[in-house]
Structure 1
């Protein structure tokens, strides 16, 4: 898949990723800017990131923090089932992207989307 999710011609790559993110497998692994584009696109449909996994294609030491790895195993009140608020979920997602960037970690992301309450 092209890194550019706005490439013209054929079905929208974002709509395809959105459909994938509603399956049990989630969307394919995405770079942070692609994952952010998908999360923002989902907001247009009142959907939010209900689960997220992250992986490092290459591992760098020392690991300082791992809170940027996942959405869905957060503190009480922060998980999708606790609030089902797409904007709140997006803020948590963006915070995790910032934490990874702060630590110099280059990750790929897998997202699952859900409809807001």
Structure 2
């Protein structure tokens, strides 16, 4: 059997614990995490749950501009309807559900986004 070849087109593997801990520390600061791809942001949000923390704030930015402008509800977060706002989700698990719904909405609409997260305890 030939040795496994590296696939340079494949996404990065799941971040390791060291990387997750570094992002977790950054997410507790005023600057938040570095910009993360959706799968990295989700890995961090899942890891945060294991630490008893949840997404307190999320910023999303498109990698490219689109014309004409589309619905940007997946980009401007915190201006959501009652019951879907970050302030309404002090519970980390509820915040995670909202976070996942934002990622799914962006993917469904074909938005290519990067994310910055801020985490905290209830």
TM-score range, shorter chain: 0.7 to 0.9
Relative distance call for 1:46 and 1:71 in structure 2 (3 A) is: farther
Q: Distance in 2 between matches of 1:70 and 1:49?
A: 15
Query: 2:25: which partner in 1?
Result: 19
Query: 1:74: which partner in 2?
Result: 80
Q: TM-score, normalised by structure 1?
A: 0.85
**1:45 Cα shift?**
1.1
Q: Distance in 1 between matches of 2:23 and 2:14?
A: 10
Which protein has the bigger strand share? 1
- Report which stretch shifted further, 12-21 or 75-84: 75-84
For structure 1, list consecutive stretches of 5 or more residues without a partner in the other structure: none
Residue 65 of structure 1 is aligned with which of 62, 66, 71?
A: 71
Contact 1:50 1:72 in 2 (8 A): no
Contact 1:50 1:114 in 2 (8 A): yes
Q: Distance in 2 between matches of 1:82 and 1:53?
A: 17
For structure 2, list consecutive stretches of 5 or more residues without a partner in the other structure: 1-10
Please give the secondary structure, in 2, of the residue aligned with 1:108.
strand
- Report which stretch shifted further, 61-70 or 50-59: 61-70
Query: 1:44: which partner in 2?
Result: 50
Relative distance call for 1:70 and 1:114 in structure 2 (3 A) is: farther
1:29 aligns with 2:38: no
Bigger CA radius of gyration: 2
- Report which stretch shifted further, 63-72 or 89-98: 63-72
Please give the secondary structure, in 1, of the residue aligned with 2:34.
coil
Query: 1:6: which partner in 2?
Result: 15
The aligned length equals 112
